[in-house]
Amino acid sequence: MPTAALVAVIAVVSVAALAACLLVIWSMRHPHGGAAGAAIDTRQRTQEQTDLLEEVRQAHELEIQALKAELRELRSDLERRERRLADRESRLDDDQRRVDSRDRELSALETELAKRRAQLEDLAEERRLVLERTAGLTAEDAKGELIGLIENQAKREAAIVVRDLERAATEEGEKRARAIVTTAIQRVASEQTAESVVSVLHLPSDEMKGRIIGREGRNIRAFETVTGVNLIIDDTPEAVLLSCFDPVRREVARVALEKLVLDGRIHPHRIEEIYERSLAEVEQLCQRAGEDALVEVGVTNLHPELVLLLGRLRYRTSYGQNVLKHLIESAHLAGVMGAELGLAVPLVKRCALLHDIGKALTHEVEGSHALVGAEIARKFGENEDVVHAIEAHHNEVEVRTVEAVLTQAADAISGGRPGARRESLESYVKRLERLEQIATSYEGVEKVFAMQAGREVRVMVLPDQVDDIQAQVIARDITKQIEEELTYPGQIRVTVVRESRATELAH
């Protein structure tokens, strides 16, 4: 083995080197001697060298044996490692062969799948062509028709669900609302409208008419100039008429003329004097009327200017209904409904009491009385909830609070109850005609009947053109159009009737 030869060479070289070193050391220690001594020394040195070489040789043999033993161990370990590597290579070869076999199988499967996919696509295309030929429709047409069918079905089912939910909610809401409103109405007893927009003053005799007119009409001209009211003297026995767009001014003129008639002295200077006193008296009456209204309703901390404006509504009428009484009635109604709903009753009453405050100034300021009233209330420091209820009670502003909704409801109940308001025959007939026109404008409507003085519209539809769901939709659309186009007191019920009959004769 090369390793063993290397070890032997190393050992020989080591022994020679060691012998040379020993010889040099001995020579240095014995530099002199005779021939005999030299021979003896030579033999001794030879013997010592021989012994020393023997010891060195034995030592090196031991080392060589140790090295050989170590070499054998190394060779044995190397052989074991070589066997393990050979086994691992064998296993790797086996794994590689299995992987190659699996790859070939997968490739075959992919090829087979591709063939089958192509076959399925061919079959699907062939089936589609057969279906198109059979149905006479292309795939896109069939898809569109199916989507349309599903969409219509979904809409119908959604409409049915919505109808059921609306019906349940409406029934429950109507039941509860009816109870609340009925309780509110039963607790408020109000008189029927009997006031007029023209003031009538009765005279003690017809001779008084001449004194009122005066010489060449100077008294009546002075009276109309000072008061701003038209004084109408006609053939009505023992009575004159006072006409003015401002009800407070008309009341001042009535009180002044009444005082002049009682006093008997009627001339321009006296007219001015009595007018000033009457003006102050009516202002006091307005202030007292406003304070009495607050006490009756239970509202406090109202600005004095608002109290005065509220009192001036004592002389204002709307459709023949006294506005101040309407506000008091609305406040009571709203308070009862607010208590049933668990709301703050003082706030609800305040909203309803002030909702028509703008009517006190609509003859002086341009604009809707709702918006004018809201500006007045805001100007005099009213709560924003009260301002919002005033401006929203005719839907000129979108309703955002429950108090505003209750204000609308109380306003509608007070104005729509029997005997509350009067309406001219012309406007009444026009409203009925418009109700019927709106209802007949819808497709499928056969007949329309306006009933209960225009408070209900009954619509008869053709059963073969309108189903139950469409009837519901028609009723809702008619209701929305009526709300957008017409102005009316109270509410109008729209009822759509769909009736189908089957008749046979038995012979």
pTM of the model: 0.48
The C-alpha atoms of residue 452 and residue 491 are separated, in whole angstroms, by 11
Q: What is the mean pLDDT of residues 53-71?
A: 87
The yes-or-no verdict on residue 32 having pLDDT over 70 is no
Residues 6+ apart with CB under 8 A from 137: 145
**H-assigned helices in 380-502:** 384-392, 402-416, 425-440, 468-485
Predicted pLDDT at 192: 42
The yes-or-no verdict on residue 292 having pLDDT over 70 is yes
The yes-or-no verdict on residue 79 having pLDDT over 80 is yes
250, containing H or E segment: helix 247-263
The yes-or-no verdict on residue 445 having pLDDT over 50 is yes
Number of neighbouring beta carbons within 10 Å of residue 211: 17
Q: What is the mean pLDDT of residues 32-43?
A: 61
Burial 306-335 (b: 16+ CB within 10 A, else e): bbbbbbbbbbbbbebbbbbbbbbbbbbbbb
Predicted pLDDT at 362: 63
312 band by pLDDT with thresholds 50, 70 and 90: confident
The C-alpha atoms of residue 444 and residue 441 are separated, in whole angstroms, by 9
Per the model's pLDDT, the better-predicted residue between 304 and 315 turns out to be 304
Share of the chain above pLDDT 90, in %: 14
The yes-or-no verdict on residue 489 having pLDDT over 70 is no
The yes-or-no verdict on residue 355 having pLDDT over 50 is yes
